[in-house]
Amino acid sequence: MTVHSAFADHSTASRPSGERSLQVAVLGGGSFGTALASIAATRGAHVRQWLRDEQLVAHINEQHVNVRYLPNFAIDPSVHASSDMAFVLEQAELVLVAIPSGAFRAVVRQAAPLIGTETLLVSTTKGIEAGDDFHLMSQILEEETVSRHIGVLSGPNLAAEIAEGHLSASVIASDDDMTRARIQQALSCDHFRVYASNDRFGVELGGALKNIYAIAVGMAAALGMGENTRSMLMTRALAEMSRFAVARGASPMTFLGLAGIGDLIVTCSSPLSRNYRVGYAIGEGRSLEEAVEALGQVAEGVNTVHLIVDRAQRDGVYMPLAQALYQVLFEGVDPRDMALSLMRSEQGSDVEFTLPREAALDAQRRAARTHPNDSRDTLT
């Protein structure tokens, strides 16, 4: 097995000198949690990482490799893994939570008694909690802990590429300017940049929503659809994502940034994305269950699509791509039939923030009334 030492290669240039070390806790031993733990350590922080698998804990501490999630990369040797939550959180000033959405609340609840009002608390998870309440991860952090410094880290961040030292960037979103600035200090290094945003809700929704469309694009790729198709899907996905997020109070501008279009591009383009891989497998003819089982990790988009379609229906937000994916994944609709039906659906406005969708549709209705024989109905 070749173990690259990209983290170590970049550490010397990045480590600040003469500063008191920040105490960082990472909850979660998956690939992103591990990559972030290593980055924080190369920046000079004292890093403890919590995971529940004792064998993996021992391996990380002895071999400095996460054999399950990032087998080919050397973790900064100062990262200390443990399955003891109290030990990991003892004195932690910054806590990064990298746990899938299905287990997020339970883990945060376990950590909560050890988190103070001044602890910086950041979710890296791109999902939505199952249930009727439509809770994002940062809302869970707010509900379950007393921390006054809550943030969300999201962006085009394939963990394996970060681990390899590929130049990457992310967004820290928080209402609190000190939280944003301190996370930027703690995590930015020669191969990882961290930009700031005050639209926590928009950044978080961007990360959760793009997973849905990565499944759809993976499916289209496996079906042999071309680059025009990919581009159309991604751009219309962006329209849908921003429509949904804006209806829930986010800024449309956020979707022009790293946590919007940036993350959509990477997740819809790379077989390293778990969501893309699930879509690809389904496009090749596997069932959803087979695709998820073969992946062996969590593809958040599978649960997110269900929650988004439900919420969009209740709130009256038009989301044809998400709806179509839902029907393919859960109602047995053939993806090719679905593609044709989408091609025959309404053609509204390109960018709704310049030409509102209703205005475009209204003009089409008037044209259809005054020139009924010019073309087929575009509003079917």
Ligand X SMILES: O=C(CO)COP(=O)(O)O
| Strand order across the beta sheet in which 23-27 lies | 80-82, 46-50, 23-27, 94-97, 120-123, 149-154, 168-173, 192-197
Q: Residue 9 and residue 164: Cα distance in Å, rounded?
A: 10
* Residues contacting ligand NDP: total by CB under 6 A: 24
- Least distance (Å) from ligand NDP to the CB of residue 227? 24
- Least distance (Å) from ligand X to the CB of residue 168? 9
Q: Residue 38 and residue 15: Cα distance in Å, rounded?
A: 12
Q: 63 vs 297, which CB is nearer to ligand NDP?
A: 297
Q: Residue 253 and residue 289: Cα distance in Å, rounded?
A: 36
Q: What are the CA-CA distances from residue 287 to residues 168, 282, 291 (Å)? A: 34, 6, 6
- Least distance (Å) from ligand X to the CB of residue 267? 5
- Least distance (Å) from ligand NDP to the CB of residue 315? 24
Interacting span for ligand X (CB under 6 A) from 97-105, 130-138, 139-147, 259-267: 259-267
Cα 234–chain centre separation: 16
- Member of 64, 263, 269, 302 binding ligand X (CB under 6 A): 263
Q: 139 vs 275, which CB is nearer to ligand X?
A: 275
| 208 assigned ligand-binding residue | no
| 31 assigned ligand-binding residue | yes
- Least distance (Å) from ligand NDP to the CB of residue 56? 7
Tokens of 281: 């497998």
- Member of 172, 245, 282, 298 binding ligand NDP (CB under 6 A): 298
Check binding of 206 to ligand NDP (CB under 6 A): no
Among 335, 340, 304, which Cα is nearest to 322's? Answer: 304
Interacting span for ligand NDP (CB under 6 A) from 49-57, 82-90, 247-255, 349-357: 49-57
Tokens of 112: 């909560």
Secondary element (H or E) of residue 220: helix 200-222
| 210 assigned ligand-binding residue | yes
Under a CB-based contact definition with an 8 Å cutoff, are residues 176 and 138 in contact?
Answer: no
Q: Is 210 a catalytic residue?
A: yes
Q: Which of residues 76-105 bind ligand NDP (CB under 6 A)?
A: 98-100, 103
Under a CB-based contact definition with an 8 Å cutoff, are residues 82 and 121 in contact?
Answer: no
Strands (E), 84-212: 94-97, 120-123, 149-154, 168-173, 192-197
Which of 10, 64, 149, 210 is catalytic? The answer is 210
Catalytic residues: 210
The residues of the shown chain that bind ligand NDP, judged by CB under 6 A, are 28-33, 51-53, 98-100, 103, 107, 124-127, 157-159, 297-298, 300
Name the binding residues for NADPH: 31-32, 52, 69, 126, 159, 274, 298, 300
